[in-house]
Amino acid sequence: MLLARTILTIILITGVAALLWMDHVLGIEAGFMITIFCAVVLSVREFYDLVCHKGYTPFALWGTICAGLMVLADWLGYLSYRPEMHWMGIVAFVFLGGLFVLQGWLSPRERGTVSMALTAFGIVYVWGLGHFIVRIRFYKPDVVGVWGVLLLVAVVKANDIAAYLVGRSFGRHRPFARVSPKKSWEGYLGGAVAAVVAAVVCGHLLFGMSWQLAVIFAIPVCFFGNLGDLAESVLKRDLEAKDSGVRFPGLGGVLDVIDSLLVAGPVAFYMLEQMVIMGYLA
């Protein structure tokens, strides 16, 4: 299981890196956006499956469709295709209006407010946070762009892999035993070291970034990546589930793979943005 999980994680990271490289070389974003679309739709669906397992009744089909529409609307906005249409606002209006129509007339739930709230939360949690990864991709394409996404993935996943390996081998002190009993301080320390190394190497290769700047980037991104992993653990513990799905043997579902990226994404975006504004990246 340990070997399979590590190998599969490395394969996924390599695949993302290859996709971003093709994106940069060919100058198109279709592959990246299709990947984001699939990740968002599958993760939102997994969240709805989790809450259904607990006995709640979200409007799963409607929420999943609108999550995909959110991604498409965002893409249209970045393509500047008829920006006067305000695509994201239209989809948000349709989504919320649809919820009230479903609850009021078409498919009322016994606990309608809870069902509507859970439906909306799935989109806010997955797409609301995942949107910042897309923002990195389209922010200053000649300066940040795809390389910013690659840096984010490298730092977060280096932290995830090392934290898992070190924690499994040497973990003794477990600060969050109630929420995630396998997490340990030793694992977090090992993950932080790996994240810093990944940031220094990738930051230099991709941006010519100084090691000091790379460390400044890595520490908060690593911290919030761990927080994202714990956040999903809180949800799974409350919903009495071990994993969000079974799509990746040893890793769980899509949401289990991207949970740390979701919370680290906004932090990485704002840090890269400030580095550009302050002239550290040009």
CA distance 262 to 71: 15
3-state secondary structure of 246: coil
Task: Please write the tens of the pLDDT for every residue from 38-72.
Answer: 999 999 999 999 999 899 999 999 999 999 999 99
Average pLDDT, the chain: 89
The answer to the question of residue 120 being in a domain is yes
107 DSSP assignment: S
Cα–Cα distance for residue pair 173/62, rounded to 1 Å: 43
List the domain range (segments joined by +) for residue 36: 2-277
282 is a domain residue = no
Report d(CA 179, CA 241) in Å as an integer. 12
Q: Tally the domains of the chain.
A: 1
Task: Give the C-alpha separation, 155 to 222, whole Å.
Answer: 7
In a domain? residue 147:
yes
Rounded to whole angstroms, what are the CA distances from 51 to 56, 149, 155, 202, 230? 6, 30, 31, 38, 18
Q: What is d(CA 135, CA 38) in angstroms, rounded to the nearest whole number?
A: 17
Task: Specify if 221 maps to a domain.
Answer: yes
What's the pLDDT tens digit per position in 86-124? 899 999 999 999 999 999 999 999 999 999 999 999 999
- Residue 209 and residue 281 in contact, taking contact as beta carbons nearer than 8 Å: yes
Percent of the chain with pLDDT over 70: 95
pLDDT of 1 over the 60 cut: no
Amino acid identity for residue 130 in this structure: G
Residue 246 included in any domain:
yes
Nearest to 149 by CA among 281, 32, 282, 274: 32
For residue 76, the surrounding DSSP H or E stretch is helix 60-78
Q: How far is CA 247 from the centre of its chain?
A: 16
Half-sphere exposure of 35 (CA within 13 A, CB side): 18
Residue 98 CB partners (closer than 8 Å, separation 6+): 59, 62, 66
Residue 34: per-residue pLDDT: 86
What CA–CA distance (Å, rounded) separates 248 from 199? Answer: 26
